[in-house]
């Protein structure tokens, strides 16, 4: 008898210039005279929500606080469709932020963006154990920032971390971690985003099916700007950053989710709906 398999589809809600793929300040300064441009993020979000309606799925949306302040309708659009609202922090490039500053960012997010997020995803998957302690202290129940792949220099990855959801042991309790899916055994990344655009639909489809068949769990992600048809072609932005954005990416997401919908015993759920599932593993990774 086939075991039940659980898939989460997650969306990082942010604009194209919230990136670590290029020198943002330089590109913005040269092409927009230092002023961050208006984008079509609201229209992109509406397309994603319409796609989720079409496929009858519920997703988890990790919303960047600064973007939500700039475009306040984002929160209502997601909440009115009954999807999960989670936090992506307030500022995207926050490397080196102290515990006190991070705690203040969480307070501002809850006060001005959304009061009761259960989950968090760190920008660029960059975090420390001390920062996770702050998340727990501020009432968050889970994180989804671990990529248990081989280490990609200058990017992310730790092949020693669990593939399945686990409880991250902290000094004052624990925080549930929902890892991004990678290829089991070989620990190769590919569950959406850059990989879905640059490595193609077959790779992400294979990886997520393989992960789900072995672990009964898969977690994919993509960004709102990846379905935009108006991403800029500017000096200083490498070709691969916006490769296959727009309709090609939207169609790949549709095909990937639809392939799961046709499979027996595959359930697509938001993280908040998986919190009551039994999670047996507890660990304290070395970061």
pLDDT tens per residue across span 78-93: 999 999 999 999 887 6
What CATH number corresponds to the domain at position 108? 3.20.20.370
Number of neighbours of residue 110 by Cβ within 10 angstroms: 16
| Nearest partner of 180 among 271, 267, 63, 72, judged by Cα | 271
CA distance 146 to 163: 9
CA distance 13 to 279: 28
User: What is the extent of the structural domain holding 102?
Assistant: 5-283
| Nearest partner of 62 among 272, 234, 284, 280, judged by Cα | 272
| Nearest partner of 15 among 94, 83, 70, 61, judged by Cα | 70
Number of neighbours of residue 229 by Cβ within 10 angstroms: 14
> C-alpha angle with apex 223: 15 to 189, nearest 5 degrees?
135
Average per-residue pLDDT in the chain?
92
In this structure, of 78-87, 90-99, 238-247, the range with the lowest mean pLDDT score is 90-99
pLDDT tens per residue across span 128-175: 888 999 999 999 999 999 999 998 877 788 999 999 999 999 988 899
User: Where does the chain have alpha helices with state H?
Assistant: 24-32, 41-55, 65-70, 73-80, 99-112, 129-137, 193-198, 201-215, 247-261
In this structure, of 58-62, 123-127, 206-210, the range with the lowest mean pLDDT score is 123-127
CA distance 76 to 71: 10
Please give the tally of structural domains in the chain.
Answer: 1
Stretch 206-213: mean pLDDT: 95
pTM for the full predicted model? 0.95
CA distance to 34, 112, 233, per residue, from 31 (Å)? 8, 31, 11
């Amino acid at each position: 008898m086939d075991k039940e398999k659980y898939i989460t589809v997650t969306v990082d809600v942010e604009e194209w210039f919230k990136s670590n793929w290029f020198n943002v300040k330089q590109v913005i300064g040269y092409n927009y005279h230092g002023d961050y441009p208006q984008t079509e993020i609201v229209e992109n979000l509406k397309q994603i929500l319409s796609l989720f309606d079409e496929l009858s799925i519920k997703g988890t949306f990790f919303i960047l606080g600064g973007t939500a302040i700039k475009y306040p309708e984002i929160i209502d659009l997601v909440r009115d469709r009954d999807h999960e609202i989670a936090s992506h922090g307030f500022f995207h490039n926050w490397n080196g932020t102290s515990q006190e500053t991070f705690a203040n960012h969480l307070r501002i997010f809850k006060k001005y963006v959304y009061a009761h997020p259960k989950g968090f995803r760190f920008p660029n998957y960059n975090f420390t154990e001390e920062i996770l302690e702050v998340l727990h202290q501020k009432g968050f129940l889970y994180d989804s920032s671990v990529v248990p792949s081989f280490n990609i220099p200058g990017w992310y990855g730790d092949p020693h971390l669990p593939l399945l959801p686990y409880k991250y042991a902290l000094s004052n309790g624990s925080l549930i971690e929902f890892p991004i899916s990678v290829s089991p055994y070989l620990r190769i990344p590919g569950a959406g985003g850059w990989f879905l655009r640059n490595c193609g639909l077959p790779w992400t489809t294979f990886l997520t099916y393989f992960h789900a068949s072995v672990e009964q769990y898969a977690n994919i992600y993509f960004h709102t700007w990846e379905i935009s048809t108006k991403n800029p072609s500017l000096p200083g932005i490498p070709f691969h950053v916006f490769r296959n954005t727009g309709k090609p990416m939207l169609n790949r997401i549709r095909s990937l989710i639809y392939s799961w919908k046709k499979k027996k015993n595959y359930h697509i759920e938001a993280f908040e709906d998986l919190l009551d599932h039994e999670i047996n593993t507890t660990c304290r990774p070395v970061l």
